[in-house]
A and B are shown apart, each in its own frame.
Chain A
């Protein structure tokens, strides 16, 4: 299977601090990769680099064949809107927009907002009845599902999750993970998800463990 992500000797330093040591990583199309490690291990740094939110200090990083290190600021913005969907732990929804408008905003930056399509995306994540509600009127789990709808609305080939269930209770976590698996199975996009939670990690195909900026261990959680 072709690789969606390929890094070679990828590093990221902040001054004298080396957050990510030379990393060689290959993620095949459609794979769900979980990244685990304690705080400061470099997992979020890796995720930011994969999402084009940060630039590497050294090495190369190719996503769907594009060398992200060579892209301009606006080129990285185009890459993010065309290829990547990102889900955060803190949801980060725009408070003064409704659930529907939050999803449509992602469409607006990508191409043309389509209300019917946005409504359909929210219905897919089980929020067809919460379209007009603002983030403050939604539970944590519901807000995270809006984030998932927003992340998948432009049909990205890569979904990045930075501890997306970190703020959710067990029931909501299970609901979100089931939803992600269902969507992944339908859309066949790849997922790279950072988590501390062993149970969450078990939903992926493969888990890599990081420590002090290095990949220290890798395990396959289930057969692809």
Chain B
């Protein structure tokens, strides 16, 4: 009988039912779209934020006396979080004498990879080097392509009166190496006082074959939380596994440290913290917008149901006259609401999925696939909207006094 009542109620009162359905569909669709793109948005934002520079630095555990090994570098792309490694750049620093047409000066020579193809068995090919980890460098000229080409920092170039096309000679321990300047780098940092040359050439010049001073790693990470800040050495086995399997900057750093022998990995906190805070705020914003969308939908549902309830008060009064108790009245109206919300949730999911695709294509120029968990979430959101929206109208329905409504 309840089904008959619900069926007849829907078929014979299409306008108010459609109004409520529309509110639920809109709320559910917006929630689905927001939640659907939030993962994509966070990922894209995290990638954009990688242009801030590396967020992990690897140095020899033994300090200045030690060195990292070039041969270990490919292993960085084999760690548990290998897919989160956006790029890395090795460095070997040395004090050398620079001489140019303008004179001689002592300074820092840095050997590095600029944009070196890296093949790791079983992993997709990638490009590693400064071009990847420091895309924010402003370069006047181009990146080096041959062993005798170099990039010079803007400060050093100014002092030595060098420009793209000039030559510079680096001398260390009686050895000399001539480089052709092909780019002048403005970074706003200490790099402006250095000369950057291919790693192998610098290793040979400094007589440090296969050695590195530092590796900068750029990795996609999740914002740090209280758990992520715990000291891993004091964690239980389960806690350690959970920490290790979460892409905190500390756990990614740990993974890199494990494959680079003799290394000590440290997060660059000013970058990691800023990224974490920004991503957290972005997630909060998406959740807030989703909440606002659902709240607005619930208000619309409540207002539609309230208007419908006013029209249906004689019907409710009559049911009470026939002996319907509060539970039976509630069953009829909540039954209607539940049916509408399941249909609304389904339609909202489909509409929200399409909306997410459109937003993703328009804003990020990429396609997004709604995760499966979003379907029950959309239905759940529709139910929450419907139940929250029907609370006040139901309360009013239960308070109806038949004597007043059926008078006359």
CB neighbours (8 Å) of A97 from chain B are 4-5, 8
A-B CB contacts (within 8 Å), total count: 77
* Known A48-B403, A107-B1: A77·B318 in contact at CB below 8 Å: no
CB pair A150–B322 under 8 Å, yes or no, is yes
CB neighbours (8 Å) of B327 from chain A are 74
B323 at the interface (CB under 8 A from A): yes
CB neighbours (8 Å) of A123 from chain B are none
* Known A53-B403, A96-B9: A109·B4 in contact at CB below 8 Å: no
* Known A73-B326, A74-B326: A53·B315 in contact at CB below 8 Å: no
Contact partner, B325, options A51, A74, A88, A105, Cβ 8 Å = A74
B237 at the interface (CB under 8 A from A): no
Contact partner, A77, options B2, B4, B324, Cβ 8 Å = B324
Interchain residue pairs with CB less than 8 A apart (22): A51-B321, A53-B321, A73-B325, A74-B326, A74-B327, A77-B324, A77-B325, A80-B321, A81-B322, A84-B323, A88-B406, A89-B408, A90-B406, A90-B408, A92-B318, A96-B9, A101-B5, A101-B8, A105-B5, A109-B328, A110-B322, A113-B1
* Known A54-B403, A94-B315: A106·B322 in contact at CB below 8 Å: yes
Q: How far is the CB of B13 from chain A (nearest CB, A)?
A: 7
CB neighbours (8 Å) of B328 from chain A are 108-109
Q: How far is the CA of A187 from the CA of B12 in the complex (A)?
A: 36
Which residues of A in the span 67-84 have a Cβ within 8 Å of any Cβ on B? 73-74, 77-82, 84
Residue of A nearest to B13 (CB): A96
* Known A53-B403, A109-B328: A80·B322 in contact at CB below 8 Å: yes
* Known A48-B403, A92-B314, A97-B8: A77·B320 in contact at CB below 8 Å: yes
CB neighbours (8 Å) of A105 from chain B are 1, 5, 319, 322
CB neighbours (8 Å) of B321 from chain A are 51, 53, 80, 86, 92
Which residues of B in the span 1-18 have a Cβ within 8 Å of any Cβ on A? 1-2, 4-5, 8-9, 11-13
CB pair A78–B325 under 8 Å, yes or no, is yes
B107 at the interface (CB under 8 A from A): no
A95 at the interface (CB under 8 A from B): yes
B291 at the interface (CB under 8 A from A): no
CB pair A81–B403 under 8 Å, yes or no, is no
**Beta-carbon contacts of B305-323 to A below 8 Å, as 1s and 0s?**
0000000001101111111
Residue of B nearest to A108 (CB): B1
Residues of B with Cβ closer than 8 Å to A?
1-2, 4-5, 8-9, 11-13, 314-315, 317-328, 402-403, 406-408
Residues of A with Cβ closer than 8 Å to B?
44, 48, 51, 53-54, 73-74, 77-82, 84, 86, 88-90, 92, 94-97, 101, 104-110, 113, 150
Q: How far is the CB of B128 from chain A (nearest CB, A)?
A: 71
CB pair A80–B326 under 8 Å, yes or no, is no
CB pair B323–A78 under 8 Å, yes or no, is yes
CB neighbours (8 Å) of A53 from chain B are 321, 402-403
Q: How far is the CB of B325 from chain A (nearest CB, A)?
A: 4
Q: How far is the CA of A21 from the CA of B328 in the complex (A)?
A: 35
The secondary structure that dominates the B interface is helix
With contacts A78-B323, A81-B324 known, what are 9 further pairs, Cβ within 8 A? A53-B402, A54-B403, A73-B326, A74-B326, A77-B320, A81-B322, A92-B314, A105-B322, A108-B2
Residue of A nearest to B405 (CB): A92
**Most chain A beta carbons < 10 A, residue from B5, B8, B318:** B318
CB neighbours (8 Å) of B1 from chain A are 101, 104-105, 107-108, 113
Q: How far is the CA of A147 from the CA of B12 in the complex (A)?
A: 21
CB neighbours (8 Å) of A94 from chain B are 315, 318
CB neighbours (8 Å) of B318 from chain A are 92, 94
Q: How far is the CA of A58 from the CA of B341 in the complex (A)?
A: 46
Residue of A nearest to B402 (CB): A53
Q: How far is the CB of B108 from chain A (nearest CB, A)?
A: 86
CB neighbours (8 Å) of A81 from chain B are 322-324
* Known A96-B8, A97-B8, A101-B8: A109·B326 in contact at CB below 8 Å: no
Q: How far is the CA of A36 from the CA of B315 in the complex (A)?
A: 28
Q: How far is the CB of A142 from chain B (nearest CB, A)?
A: 18
Q: How far is the CB of B299 from chain A (nearest CB, A)?
A: 27
Q: How far is the CA of A175 from the CA of B327 in the complex (A)?
A: 37
Residue of A nearest to B321 (CB): A86
Residue of B nearest to A77 (CB): B325
CB neighbours (8 Å) of A108 from chain B are 1-2, 5, 328
Q: How far is the CA of A78 from the CA of B325 in the complex (A)?
A: 7
Residue of A nearest to B324 (CB): A109
Q: How far is the CB of A161 from chain B (nearest CB, A)?
A: 13
Q: How far is the CB of B182 from chain A (nearest CB, A)?
A: 82
CB neighbours (8 Å) of B8 from chain A are 96-97, 101
Q: How far is the CA of A105 from the CA of B318 in the complex (A)?
A: 11
Q: How far is the CB of B317 from chain A (nearest CB, A)?
A: 8
Q: How far is the CA of A73 from the CA of B324 in the complex (A)?
A: 11
Q: How far is the CA of A109 from the CA of B326 in the complex (A)?
A: 11
* Known A54-B403, A90-B408: A96·B323 in contact at CB below 8 Å: no
Q: How far is the CA of A81 from the CA of B9 in the complex (A)?
A: 22
